[in-house]
Structure 1
Amino acid sequence: MLFIDPENTPDFKRSLFNAIVAPRPIGWISTMGPEGSVNLAPFSHFNLVSTAPPVVIFSCNAPADRHEKDSITNVRATGEFVTNLVTWELREPMNISSLDAPYGIDEFELAGLDKAPSRKVRPPRVACSPASMECKLLRIVQIEPQRPGDTVSNVVFGLVVGIHLDPAFVDPDGRFDVARTMPLTRLGGNQYASVGPLVDLARPSPRHD
């Protein structure tokens, strides 16, 4: 078994973490600046961390050309964001929206995406996404560099205050059929994938001897 010590490996590649912790859901985060500019960017460091209360997170390391990503700057200023589910069919516009564009550039327009209004927050939704969640900022946790070569990382915690679902993917029992949406996931490097074989596994019942 190969062992790697990140602290004592000069040429350690951080991308290894992304390849090991995979597949990862993609948070397609739409935000709005205080002056009204709109931003849309995908984050593969994204997940649900609590259901009661409903809380999601997304995070990223600081880019090389500025102190933090535009999405973080907007959330810090306004306290709001929207997560939009990325499907397999939306992989190309998602990729276009990952362009490192100057602040104020509207990635919705770059990717040819229509906006849909939110109900309880200002940032718009991706109209063609089958599921979007409106979020209010709870806190931003900053992870400081631990060793040479590290950058600051910001972890954004958001309280879900509204959910938009495409009725075509909601079954008669009110459950969201996520498998039919074919959600896009991030693997290592530039690799992406969607769902494969599915299996239902019921939680084991406790034994009563």
Structure 2
Amino acid sequence: MEFDFADLPREARSKLLHSTIVPRPIAWVVTRHAHGGTNAAPFSFFNVVSTEPPLLCIGMAARTDGDKDTLANIRRSGQFVVNLVPMAMAEAMNQTSAEFGPEVDELARCGLATQPSSNVDPPRIAGSPVAMECETFRLVDLDQGGAVVLGRVLAMHLAEEMLLDPARQYVDTPRLGLIGRMHGGGWYARTTDLFEMPRPPKPPR
């Protein structure tokens, strides 16, 4: 069956996209409010898009009353930290997805400890095995509100026990235990069911 997106309302398009483009990695984004408090929220429209320069992208939809707190903070400061989510922190991540007001510090409310960043003002989440300090590279505003944030990675923090060979940047990726977003209102996937498929050799000329 073909679905012509030009003829579908937003809700229908959203259902199809969310249900098929899976699993999606989760960016657990920490920003700083103008009043000094911190904000934390997860986003699953997220991925790496370039290694030179090192760029990641996050799609941030708008609320009915304007930008979400995360996007408003990024617009103002140009700084944010992307933390990746291990299975052990899934419930805490889920709690920070609630629609709190800007006066609420989600990290404190959910009992999450932080560690200072080296290059940006927002802190990183202690316990996350991977945290990336980022600055805004581009903001692409969307016609219906919200934006796609392109962030330049300034530094990455990796838990030492996740490194097989730090000098050669070998990471024990399965040990990270990260989760991804699936379909529906609350389905997720673990990254533990793996298989290996070598790339085919280069064809002869």
Scaled by the length of structure 1, the TM-score of the pair is: 0.91
Which ranges in structure 2 are unaligned for 5 or more consecutive residues?
none
Tell me the SS of whatever aligns to 1:14.
helix
Residue 14 (structure 1) aligns with: 14
Alignment-derived partner of residue 101 in structure 1 = 100
Bigger mean CA deviation after superposition, 5-14 or 107-116: 5-14
**Unmatched tracts of structure 1, length 5 or more:** 145-150
- 1:60 counterpart letter in structure 2: M
Distance 1:198 1:191 in 2: 19
Alpha carbons 1:63, 1:69 under 8 Å: kept: yes
> Are 2:72 and 1:73 equivalent residues in the alignment?
yes
Q: Kindly report which structure 2 residues correspond to 1:1-209, keeping only aligned pairs within 5 A, or say none.
A: 2-9=1-8, 12-64=12-64, 66-144=65-143, 151-172=144-165, 173-189=168-184, 190-208=186-204
Whether the 8 Å CA contact 1:96–1:110 is kept in 2: the answer is no
- For 2:128, what is the secondary structure of its paired residue? coil
**Cα deviation 1:60-109 (Å, max 9, x = unaligned):** 21112x21110000011001000001011111000000010011311101
- The alpha carbon displacement at 1:183 in A equals 0.7
CA distance in 1, matches of 2:119, 2:5: 43
**How far, CA to CA, are the matches of 1:89 and 1:67 in structure 2?**
33
Instruction: Read off the aligned partner of 1:45 and give its amino acid letter.
Output: F
Structure 2 CA distance, aligned partners of 1:155 and 1:9?
A: 22
Task: Determine the C-alpha separation between the residues in 2 that align with 1:153 and 1:102.
Answer: 17
CA distance in 2, matches of 1:99, 1:142: 24
2: distance between equivalents of 1:68 and 1:127? 27
How far has the Cα of 1:181 moved from its partner?
1.6
- Measured on the aligned residues, the alpha-carbon RMSD in Å equals 1.5
Change (3 A) 1:67 1:170: same
Paired residues in the alignment total 201
For the 8 Å contact 1:142–1:154, the answer to whether it is kept is yes
Equivalent AA in structure 1 for residue 137 of structure 2 = L
Contact kept in structure 1, 2:85 and 2:93, CA below 8 Å? yes
Shift of 1:4: 1.6
| Residues in 2 aligned to 1:76 and 1:121: alpha-carbon distance in whole angstroms | 14
SS of 2:171's equivalent?
coil
SS at match of 1:159: strand
Amino acid at match of 1:202: P
CA distance in 2, matches of 1:60, 1:77: 15
Aligned to 1:147: none
